[in-house]
Structure 1
Amino acid sequence: MIECRALVMAYGDHVVLDGVDLTVTRGQVVALLGPNGAGKTTTVEILEGFRHPSRGQVRVLGADPASAPESWRSRVGVVLQSWRDHGTWKVRDLVDVIGAYYAPYGTARTPRPWPSEDLLARVGLADHAGRRIDKLSGGQRRRLDVAIGLVGRPELLFLDEPSTGLDPAGRRDVHDLVADLADLDTTVLVTTHDLAEAEKIADRLLILAGGRIVADGTPDDLRLELSRSSEVRLRDRATGEVSVHAEPDPTAYLTQVLSCRPGEVEVLEVRAASLEDVYLDIVRRSETPDPDPSPSPTMEALP
């Protein structure tokens, strides 16, 4: 569905993307993570055909997005982070008007547009079809954004910061909706800086930092492959001083401490590195390379 090789994007002397390699296969929900300014939006705009890369090869649905025809665009859905205010429109009317643009590209196999009644039911807005958009809650408005992105029955959906600005209930609604997209055989690329959100909705995580993809895998893969140490906290009984150590084998370390310092240690705590710990450390090391890395860099980033 998506394939990039050695993708470079530079604005004058400022290099945003520096050799991005990226592959997404059909049916996946992939989250593209990274700190603000990492180039997530730039990457997605290149994949959508709205921005031309400085160098590199890009194929989306088998075509170069920069020169793909309008029929190619009918196979792609886009949900932006923010929206233009269509408050005076009614929900069904707006979906019908936008859907009409896809009608010339429908086929017997993939009829377009998606009938608004069915689509609004699918995204949980059937009861609000006749309401003005400015009367919707934040979560309902985001569901409408997704409906607009899906009305052309896209094979590939780009979803930018899906729950920005929503309250917890609205976030949960959007997360549930993204999970439902798997039933529609829709491949989804989500951009977000929220690790908890990505872990909840995505099959696969990509971390973009320092202009490159620096980690790629399922949440469990990243934990197993990158969290190789545990944090051990010791508090001295006499002084009350707390020391923190990063240890790949905490059991062996604790055994050694207890045998060498009998009665001296008052508190022992062991905490495995979380996915958030790993993510933050990957980003830190990618953006500020350490010329003399320590044996356990992951745990150094822990508080």
Structure 2
Amino acid sequence: MTAIEVSGLRKAFGDKVVLDGVDLDVPAGTVFSLLGPNGAGKTTTVNVLTTLTKADAGMVRVAGHDVAAEEKAVRAAIGVTGQFAAVDELLTGQENLQLMADLNRADRRVVPELLERFDLVESARKPASTYSGGMRRKLDLAMTLVGGPRIIFLDEPTTGLDPRSRRTMWTIIRELVADGVTVFLTTQYLEEADQLADRVAVLDHGRLVAEGTPDELKRRLPGTHVRLRFSTVAELDAAARILPEATRDDEALTLRVPGDGGTKSLRALLDRLDEYSVAAEEFSVHTPDLDDVFLALTGHTTEVTTV
């Protein structure tokens, strides 16, 4: 089942082409993360998918509905949580949720359920102005869920949160996906995409330059290697003779063997050691992280991925 389907999406503002033939396919019940530097077209993509901006060309379907011809149906199926918590600070947490329930013509019985789910019961009757940043983000996401959307767009949901609050938000997102909700995520934290996303797409200058699982993208870069640690110098010497392509570290008693990180090459490496009766005390596979992938694909550091 496909939650979001995009083909040949194009958008220009005057002479500036912002999106140039973007194709996306987001399976239902997954987390899809869109990454890209400033000006790459991420915000425009999200605006088109959420019916806020009209595309110049291409086909876009969200929850099975054409965003151009069936705007109301699309809006009824989605929820959007922006970068900054859109809560009314004069109202309590409970009142914010009740207001959203009334606007969505939803049953108010969903309010206590969401307060409990997001651990906001104790603060439910306190003004939102007294909430911490993490509590406001949780309340904002709870308000998005009042209408029971099956697709949620999260724009940098953990910006400004402390590590503990960020991980709490990650847990909530995973629970939503476990319930069958699809999450379209933009984030400035590549660790967040690595932790949460089933698939990642990298957008640069209006074009998709890569798409795949986080592990698939990381395996594209050179630098993947197997690290072997030995108990004695003699074992290290023996392994170094067997693996002349490896880089050794005498102080750590390790060899760094280049490879692709796949099971086939790893099995061949261990079989090679076993053939000469050499055993490593431990081994680990090291791959480039998404920061390395992002820099290699776009030429930018992650410090400019906030838009």
User: Which of the five TM-score ranges fits, normalised by the shorter chain?
Assistant: 0.7 to 0.9
2:120 counterpart of 1:118: no
Task: Give me the whole-angstrom Cα distance separating, in 1, the residues matched to 2:288 and 2:71.
Answer: 47
Task: Give me the whole-angstrom Cα distance separating, in 2, the residues matched to 1:4 and 1:25.
Answer: 12
2:291 counterpart of 1:276: yes
Pairwise CA distance, 1:70: 2.8
Q: CA offsets per residue over residues 222-241 of structure 1, 9 Å max, x none?
A: 222x123459xxxxxxxxxx
Label 1:87 to 1:185 Cα distance change in 2 as closer, same or farther (>3 A). Answer: same
Task: Give me the whole-angstrom Cα distance separating, in 2, the residues matched to 1:190 and 1:43.
Answer: 12
Task: Give me the whole-angstrom Cα distance separating, in 1, the residues matched to 2:73 and 2:66.
Answer: 13
Q: Which residue of 2 aligns with 1:214?
A: 209
Q: Which residue of 1 aligns with 2:78?
A: 76
Task: Give me the whole-angstrom Cα distance separating, in 2, the residues matched to 1:114 and 1:45.
Answer: 31
What is the correspondence of 1:49-68 to structure 2 with a 5 Å cutoff? Answer: 49-68=51-70
Q: Which residue of 2 aligns with 1:262?
A: none
Q: Which of these residues, 187, 192, 201, is aligned with residue 187 of structure 2? A: 192
Contact persistence 2:35–2:203 (CA under 8 A)? yes
Pairwise CA distance, 1:13: 1.2
Q: Which residue of 2 aligns with 1:98?
A: 100
Q: CA offsets per residue over residues 252-303 of structure 1, 9 Å max, x none?
A: 5457x9xxxxxxxxxx978753332122101129xxxxxxxxxxxxxxxxxx
Contact persistence 1:114–1:151 (CA under 8 A)? no
Q: Which of these residues, 39, 42, 58, is aligned with residue 40 of structure 1? A: 42
Q: Give the TM-score taking structure 1 as reference length.
A: 0.75
Q: Which of these residues, 78, 88, 91, is aligned with residue 89 of structure 1? A: 91
Task: Give me the whole-angstrom Cα distance separating, in 2, the residues matched to 1:179 and 1:150.
Answer: 14
Aligned length: 250
Task: Give me the whole-angstrom Cα distance separating, in 2, the residues matched to 1:16 and 1:113.
Answer: 41
2:161 counterpart of 1:166: yes
Q: Runs of 4+ in structure 1 displaced over 6 angstroms? A: 268-271
- Which residue identity does 1:132 align to in structure 2? P
Task: Give me the whole-angstrom Cα distance separating, in 1, the residues matched to 2:125 and 2:118.
Answer: 15
SS of aligned partner of 1:53: coil
Task: Give me the whole-angstrom Cα distance separating, in 1, the residues matched to 2:27 and 2:212.
Answer: 13
SS of aligned partner of 1:134: helix
SS of aligned partner of 2:66: coil
SS of aligned partner of 2:201: strand
Unaligned runs of 5+ in 2: 226-242, 249-254, 258-285, 301-307
Task: Give me the whole-angstrom Cα distance separating, in 1, the residues matched to 2:89 and 2:48.
Answer: 30
Label 1:35 to 1:115 Cα distance change in 2 as closer, same or farther (>3 A). Answer: same
Contact persistence 1:34–1:192 (CA under 8 A)? no
Task: Give me the whole-angstrom Cα distance separating, in 2, the residues matched to 1:125 and 1:9.
Answer: 41
What is the correspondence of 1:286-297 to structure 2 with a 5 Å cutoff? Answer: none
SS of aligned partner of 2:217: helix
Pairwise CA distance, 1:164: 1.1
SS of aligned partner of 1:50: coil
The percentage of counterpart residues that share the same residue type is: 40
SS of aligned partner of 2:68: coil
- Which residue identity does 2:98 align to in structure 1? D
Task: Give me the whole-angstrom Cα distance separating, in 2, the residues matched to 1:201 and 1:12.
Answer: 36
Pairwise CA distance, 1:197: 1.1
Task: Give me the whole-angstrom Cα distance separating, in 2, the residues matched to 1:177 and 1:158.
Answer: 14
Task: Tell me which moved more, 157-166 or 42-51.
Answer: 157-166
Q: CA offsets per residue over residues 110-155 of structure 1, 9 Å max, x none?
A: xx56610001211221222111101111011000110111110001
- Which residue identity does 1:63 align to in structure 2? H
Q: How much is the aligned-residue C-alpha RMSD, in angstroms?
A: 2.6
Q: Which of these residues, 15, 18, 25, is aligned with residue 16 of structure 1? A: 18
Contact persistence 2:194–2:290 (CA under 8 A)? no
Task: Give me the whole-angstrom Cα distance separating, in 1, the residues matched to 2:192 and 2:4.
Answer: 22
Unaligned runs of 5+ in 1: 107-111, 232-250, 258-267, 286-303
SS of aligned partner of 2:25: strand
Task: Give me the whole-angstrom Cα distance separating, in 2, the residues matched to 1:83 and 1:142.
Answer: 6
